[in-house]
Copies of this chain bind each other. A is one copy, B any other.
Amino acid sequence: MAELLSELIEEAVASPESGESAAIAEAMLVEDADDIALFLESLPVEQRLSAWQEVPDSKKLEVLVDMRADPREPIIDRSDSSDWEKLFKDIDAEQLLELANSLPDKIVGQALSAMDRQQQQYFTDASAYAENQIGHWLSHEILALPLTAKVRDALRLIRRNVPDHADSIFLLNRAGQFSTAVKLTSVFGAPEHVPLVELAEEYIDIIKGADDCTAAARLVQDSGFSSLPVVDEDNRLLGRIDITNACELVNEYYERQVMSSAGMDEEEDLFAPVRKSAKSRAIWLGVNLLTAFLASWFIGLFEATLQQVVALAVLMPVVASMGGIAGSQTLTLIVRGLALGQVTNANRKALLDKELRVGGLNGVVWAIVIGIVAYFWFSEPLLGLVIGLAILVNIITAAIAGVLLPVILNKLKIDPALSGSVILTTVTDIVGFVAFLGLGTLFLL
């Protein structure tokens, strides 16, 4: 796909008017909706709107669903009510749930009124769950039979239609509660009169609608099944989460982690309007500015020292940078451990102990190296001592902050992937500057 995508982007940029490129028209016919979505996201807004005209009507809804929220916005803004009417002809609850946040309430209402009762009910039920709960993201195309069903009932059901990644039939009791599952492969070859329960799996994970969506998705990925049942608090079957959905949810989790480390959103559009993009990034710049000013304020306490020993000003970035790097290494390791459930109250002390030793060892090694360099650079042995001590203090501080900060943020329900590194570098900047300039004041004046 990567090569084709590259060619198509070239075509679209070269012939910006819609309908000009045969290659694009052809690709729109044969490619899957998710690949078309990827292609549209890669285009500047004007070209994206032209290319959108080329998407066959039958694929438009699915393409829109597959796009990220931000890049789909200009397309939604340009659509009028007759476009929506066409788009919503066969919309189902899952598709509307994906789109709902991007649409004005009025349009959501229009979509709802185009659905049948059953789908409307699915939409209402799913909307009752928050977006970080798996109940919001269910698939409702399921194979389900009563607990009393026989192999012949299963065969009849399967012959009608098997949804993608439905690898088992869910067996329900009379109250609609989930009992157990039978793999399709266990059904085939079995005599028609055998009760399905006799072929049921020994064990299948059951997900609750209120479960965290990333955790539930990982469970599906690890389960060996292609989809797992999702139930409400009374164990009634709500739907299923299939492996394709699970992969999307896990991938989104990781993308969010990577993007949020730079203060950005997973839904960010490569070609967002300049003002919108500048505004969304300005918030993060502003937060960082506050922390930078805070660090500056601490430096300002030592103005007199800096005036007399200008070498301190020259070397300040070295002290801050070493602390920041050492801290971000510990932080990254701990954040991953927290996400996997591997860092807990029980092993936190042992982790802190180990990170302190690693920090101590690296602190001593780099204190000596940097001390020697500083000594030769400025021909001042005491400066070497001062920077060496400051490096040691800062790398050890970084180890402590790297372990404790994400643990504390996690307990406060603040995502450590987003705010961990900015708080951490604030700590290492301030401790580094104060240690360096403070020791400088003591020894060098």
Binding site for B on A (CB under 8 A): 1-2, 5-6, 9-10, 12-14, 32, 34, 38, 41-44, 155, 158-159, 162, 164-165, 167, 184-185, 187-189, 215, 219, 221-222, 224, 226, 243-244, 246-247, 250-251, 254-255, 257-259, 261-264, 268, 270-272, 274-275, 277-278, 281-282, 284-285, 288-289, 291-293, 295-296, 299-300, 303, 306-307, 310-311, 313-318, 320-322, 325-326, 328-329, 331-333, 336-337, 340-347, 350-351, 354, 357-358, 361-362, 365-366, 369-370, 373, 429, 433
A259-B336, A274-B361, A285-B362 given; name 17 further pairs at CB < 8 Å: A2-B215, A10-B344, A13-B350, A38-B340, A42-B344, A44-B354, A165-B226, A167-B167, A226-B226, A257-B258, A270-B351, A271-B350, A281-B329, A289-B322, A296-B314, A296-B317, A306-B313
Q: Could you say which residues of chain B place their CB within 8 Å of the CB of A343?
A: 42, 270
Nearest chain B CB to A176 CB, angstrom units: 25
Known contacts A44-B347, A247-B221, A271-B354; decide if A6 and B341 are in contact (CB<8 Å).
yes
Taking a contact as CB atoms closer than 8 A, the residue among B164, B167, B274, B284 that contacts A357 in the complex is: B274
Verify B350–A275 contact, CB threshold 8 A. Answer: no
The one of B43, B189, B344 that contacts A158, using a Cβ cutoff of 8 Å? B189
Which residue of B has the minimal Cβ distance to A5? B341
Nearest CB in chain B: distance from A343 CB, A:
7
Whether A10 and B244, one on each chain, are in contact in the complex, defined by CB atoms closer than 8 angstroms, is no
Alpha-carbon distance A369/B255, docked complex (angstroms) = 32
Q: How far does the alpha carbon of A306 sit from the alpha carbon of B322 in the complex, in Å?
A: 23
| Neighbouring B residues of A299 by C-beta, 8 Å | 313-314, 317
Known: A264-B332, A296-B317. A285 touches B325 (CB 8 A): yes
Q: Name the distance in Å between A326's Cβ and chain B's nearest Cβ.
A: 6
Point out the residue from B243, B271, B313, B361 that lies within 8 Å of A226, measured CB to CB: B243
Q: Considering the complex, give the chain B residue whose CB is closest to the CB of A359.
A: B278
Inside 8 A of A12's CB, which chain B residues have their CB? Answer: 346
- Determine if B263 and A329 form an interchain contact, defined as CB atoms under 8 angstroms apart: yes
A262 in contact with B328 given A307-B307, A345-B10 (CB within 8 Å): yes
* Closest B residue, CB atoms, query A274: B357
CB of A143 to closest CB in B, whole Å: 10
Report the bound CA distance from A1 to B13 in whole Å: 49
CB-CB under 8 A from A322, the residues of chain B are 285, 288-289, 292
Q: A358 contacts which of B221, B274, B340, B351 (Cβ < 8 Å)?
A: B274
Measured CA separation A264–B42 after assembly (Å): 30
Q: Let me know if B313 and A167 touch, CB within 8 A.
A: no
The answer to whether A282 and B42 touch (CB under 8 A), given A262-B329, A292-B318, is: no
Could you tell me the distance in whole angstroms from the C-beta of A307 to the nearest C-beta in chain B?
5
Sample (8) of A-B pairs whose CB atoms are under 8 Å apart: A262-B328, A263-B329, A264-B329, A277-B358, A278-B362, A296-B314, A306-B310, A307-B307
Collect the chain B residues with CB atoms within 8 Å of residue A32's CB.
Answer: 222
